[in-house]
């Protein structure tokens, strides 16, 4: 009975995917070297991976709330909700074009801009002709937008109970609109780091390292939480709910399957299966998969 239900769910997902994908079979055959089945499953998998990354924001909210004081719960929950909305809007308006400027570099592979808003290539160039027929422009934006919002959320945990809501939301808009996209363009947008042969898989540098440095800058400017140090004595400020924090950890753990697995930008079973089972361990086989399926300009 359970097997039959699973088959029904799988069939429904595939049917929905076939409906929402923008390219028809006729359109796919019009583009040379595009495998229609692989194109469909690639797009479906990347969208699922984006949804898993989205779930990570619930994990961040639960973890951050559980490890802080109960009186700040509403502030932290609102902050983690708003950062996703602000992040996606900012990234769509400016960030995505800054991160992937194509050939529109204003300063020698350091700063480029492809125009305000989302600039999907016309016709098949943005669909089956995008990224060598691996996935569409819109699928790419959705997944990259989730990464951008996650980068800002990293800072949220570091400045918890240190910053008011308004200034943090302003910071998030600036960070996702300019800071993260510009630095990310140096590698993923084929900027100067890309020219040097630098490769970042799943954002270990552009998402986590850059987010970590932004978090460090934030806590240096803001200082410790009020009441942490009294008369030179360090006072513990325990969280109010370890069960909630544990739930957050497991949600983040679940999200990593989309964060890392989706970063292959392909549903290739060899690449994705190896990536998931390796738990972050990289070797030549995985690097070959990543290079084959990396974003095409």
Query: What pLDDT score was predicted for residue 270?
Result: 63
Looking at per-residue pLDDT, the higher value among 259 and 295 belongs to 259
Residue 70 confidence (pLDDT): 93
Percent of the chain with pLDDT over 90: 43
For the stretch 271-291, pLDDT in tens is: 655 555 544 444 444 444 444
Residue 239 located in a structural domain? yes
What's the pLDDT at 104?
85
Q: What is the pTM of this model?
A: 0.78
Average pLDDT for 100-105? 86
pLDDT at 231 > cutoff 70: yes
Instruction: Answer yes or no: is pLDDT of 267 > 80.
Output: no
User: What is the per-residue pLDDT for 103?
Assistant: 81
Contact status, residue 37 vs residue 14, Cβ threshold 8 Å: no
The CATH number of residue 211's host domain is: 1.10.3430.10
Give the confidence band of 21 by pLDDT, cuts at 50, 70, 90. Answer: very low
Position 23 pLDDT exceeds 80: no
The answer to the question of residue 63 being in a domain is: yes
Residue 73 has what pLDDT?
92
Is residue 12 included in any domain, yes or no?
no
CB 187, CB 198: distance < 8 Å = yes
75-84, 104-113, 127-136, 181-190: the lowest-pLDDT one: 127-136
Residue 19 lies in a domain: no
Domain range spanning residue 105? 38-292
3: pLDDT strictly greater than 60: no
Give a yes or no: residue 23 inside a domain.
Answer: no
Answer yes or no: is pLDDT of 12 > 60: no
Q: Is 235 exposed, middle or buried (0-12, 13-18, 19+ CB in 10 A)?
A: exposed
233 neighbors 239 (Cβ within 8 angstroms): no
The mean predicted confidence, pLDDT, of the chain is 81
Checking if the pLDDT of 163 tops 60, the result is yes
Cα–Cα distance for residue pair 140/131, rounded to 1 Å? 9
**Could you give phi then psi for residue 151, rounded to 5 degrees?**
-60, -40
| Predicted local confidence at residue 97, as pLDDT | 92
Name the token pair of 205. 């540098």
| Domain count for the chain | 1
Q: Is residue 257 included in any domain, yes or no?
A: yes
Residue 268 lies in a domain: yes
At residue 192 the predicted structure's pLDDT band, cuts being 50, 70 and 90, is very high
Pick the closest to residue 46 from 89, 16, 8, 17 (CA basis): 17
8 A C-beta contact, residue 50 and residue 242: no
Q: Counting beta carbons within 10 angstroms of the beta carbon of residue 27, is it exposed (0 to 12), middle (13 to 18) or buried (19 or more)?
A: middle
Tell me, yes or no, whether 26 lies in a domain: no
pLDDT the model gives residue 33: 58
CA 40 to chain centroid: 21
Q: Which residues contact 134 (CB under 8 A, 6 or more apart)?
A: 38, 39, 42, 265, 266, 293, 296
pLDDT in tens, 36-81: 888 888 889 999 999 999 999 999 999 999 999 999 999 999 999 9
């Amino acid at each position: 009975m359970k097997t039959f239900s699973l088959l029904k769910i799988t069939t429904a997902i595939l049917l929905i995917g076939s409906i929402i994908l923008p390219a028809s079979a006729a359109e796919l055959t019009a583009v040379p070297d595009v495998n229609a089945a692989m194109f469909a499953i690639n797009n479906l998998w990347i969208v699922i991976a984006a949804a898993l990354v989205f779930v990570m924001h619930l994990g961040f909210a639960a973890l951050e709330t559980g490890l802080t004081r109960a009186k700040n719960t509403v502030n932290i929950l609102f902050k983690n909700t708003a950062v996703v909305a602000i992040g996606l809007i900012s990234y769509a308006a400016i960030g995505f074009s800054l991160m992937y400027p194509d050939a529109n570099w204003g300063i020698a592979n350091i700063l480029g801009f492809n125009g305000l808003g989302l600039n999907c290539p016309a016709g098949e160039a943005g669909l089956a002709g995008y990224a060598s027929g691996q996935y569409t422009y819109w699928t790419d934006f959705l997944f990259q937008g989730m990464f951008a919002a996650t980068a800002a959320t990293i800072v949220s945990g570091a400045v918890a109970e240190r910053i008011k809501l308004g200034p943090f939301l302003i910071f998030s808009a600036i960070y996702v609109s300019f800071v993260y996209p510009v630095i990310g363009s140096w590698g993923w947008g084929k900027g100067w780091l890309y020219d040097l042969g630098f490769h970042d898989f799943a954002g270990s540098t552009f998402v986590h390292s850059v987010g970590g440095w932004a978090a460090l800058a934030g806590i240096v400017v803001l200082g410790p939480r009020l009441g942490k140090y009294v008369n030179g004595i360090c006072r513990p400020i325990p969280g109010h709910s370890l069960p909630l924090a544990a739930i957050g950890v497991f949600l983040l753990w679940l999200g990593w399957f989309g964060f890392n697995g989706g970063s292959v930008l392909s549903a290739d079973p060899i690449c994705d299966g190896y990536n998931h089972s390796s738990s972050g361990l990289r070797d030549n086989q995985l690097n070959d998969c990543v290079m084959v399926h990396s974003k095409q300009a």
